[in-house]
């Protein structure tokens, strides 16, 4: 569902300015489904470094499972990377803060391209895993998405994990209002990682999220179970975003 919201204007949803230094990488994100459940902070605390505050909304931490696909992946000053410029990705995440900057903490990121997985693990210190994935468009705007982690067969830290479902937008596009649950879950302009006991931050920049209500039918979802986290037996919050153009900066150590 393409956004009819204007692009190219300053992003008033940012809580701090985008870096003035040159960006490292650009990516285009397509057909995202944000699936979120409230979970107790205590369930996530063992999986998040103690130096990071786990943020809450309505007295709960939030766990997200986000299937989407990427394209146009390129380094600054270079064309799209041969053989690694487009692929599906599925991430499992929560929301944290350090030095006053709210961001994203990834528990896992599954992708199809082995080169991209290796590079992301090495240079961004993110827990990427290889997976067999497929993202198909159906008539009427429905997206059929499947992912099965294949690294689990060869790497001890890669637990079996699978997602199968279908989803589609189900309403008009909107921008999240500051203070709303949609804003809390999506309008975040950095991510955090850990390497050798140090906390790293990666700044990102994009337009405000063009969100829409969504509906989905999830057949299989063991992404959180692979982490050892149980999801509540409640209907998750669903939001769809058709497109996002993203700039990514280098990882930096925080104090």
Other Cβ atoms less than 10 A from the Cβ of 232: the count is 12
Give residue 2's pLDDT: 36
Token pair recorded at residue 35: 């699936």
pLDDT digits (tens, 9 = 90+) for 39-72: 999 999 999 999 999 999 999 999 999 999 999 9
CA 236, 146, 239, 245 torsion: positive or negative?
A: positive
Using pLDDT thresholds of 50, 70 and 90, give the confidence band for residue 12. confident
Q: Is residue 139 over pLDDT 90?
A: no
pLDDT digits (tens, 9 = 90+) for 196-248: 999 999 999 999 999 999 999 999 999 999 999 999 999 999 999 999 999 99
pLDDT digits (tens, 9 = 90+) for 87-116: 999 999 999 999 999 999 999 999 998 878
Give residue 84's pLDDT: 65
pLDDT digits (tens, 9 = 90+) for 173-210: 999 999 999 999 999 999 999 999 999 999 999 999 99
Domains observed in the chain: 25-253 (2.40.400.10)
| Residues 9-17, mean pLDDT to the nearest whole number | 81
Q: What is the DSSP string of the chain?
A: ----S--SS--TT-SSPPPSSPPSEEEEEEEEEEEEEEE-HHHHGGGS-TTSEEP-BTTBEEEEEEEEEEEEEEETTSPBPTTTS-EEEEEEEEEEEETTEEEEEEEEEEES-HHHHHHHHHHS---EEEEEEEEEE-TTS-EEEEEEESGGGT-TT----EEEEEEEE-S--BPPPTTSHHHHHH---EEEEEETTEEEEEEEE-PPP-EEEEEEEEEEE-TTGGGT-PPPSSPPEEEEEEEEEEEEEEEEE--
Q: Is residue 250 over pLDDT 90?
A: yes
């Amino acid at each position: 569902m393409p956004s009819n919201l204007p692009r190219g204007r300053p992003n008033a949803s940012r809580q701090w300015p985008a870096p003035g230094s040159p960006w490292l990488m650009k990516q285009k994100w397509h057909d995202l489904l944000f699936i979120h459940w409230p979970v107790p902070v205590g369930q996530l605390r063992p999986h998040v470094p103690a130096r990071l505050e786990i943020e809450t909304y309505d007295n709960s931490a939030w766990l997200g499972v986000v299937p989407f696909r990427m394209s146009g992946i390129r380094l600054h000053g270079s064309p799209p990377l041969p053989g690694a410029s487009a692929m599906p990705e599925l991430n499992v995440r929560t929301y944290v803060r350090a030095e006053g900057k709210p961001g994203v903490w990834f528990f896992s990121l599954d992708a199809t391209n082995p080169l991209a997985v290796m590079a992301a693990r090495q240079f961004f210190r993110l827990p990427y895993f290889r997976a067999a994935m497929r993202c198909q468009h159906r008539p009427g705007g429905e997206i059929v998405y499947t992912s099965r982690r294949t690294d689990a067969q060869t790497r001890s830290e890669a637990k079996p994990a699978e997602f199968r479902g279908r989803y589609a937008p189900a309403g008009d596009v909107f921008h999240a209002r500051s203070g709303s649950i949609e804003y809390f879950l999506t309008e975040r302009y950095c991510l955090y990682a850990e390497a050798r006991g140090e906390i790293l931050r990666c700044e990102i920049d994009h337009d405000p999220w063009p969100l829409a209500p969504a509906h989905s039918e999830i057949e299989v979802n063991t992404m959180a179970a692979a982490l050892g986290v149980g999801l509540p037996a409640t209907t998750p919050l669903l939001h769809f975003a058709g497109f996002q153009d993203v700039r990514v900066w280098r990882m930096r150590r925080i104090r």
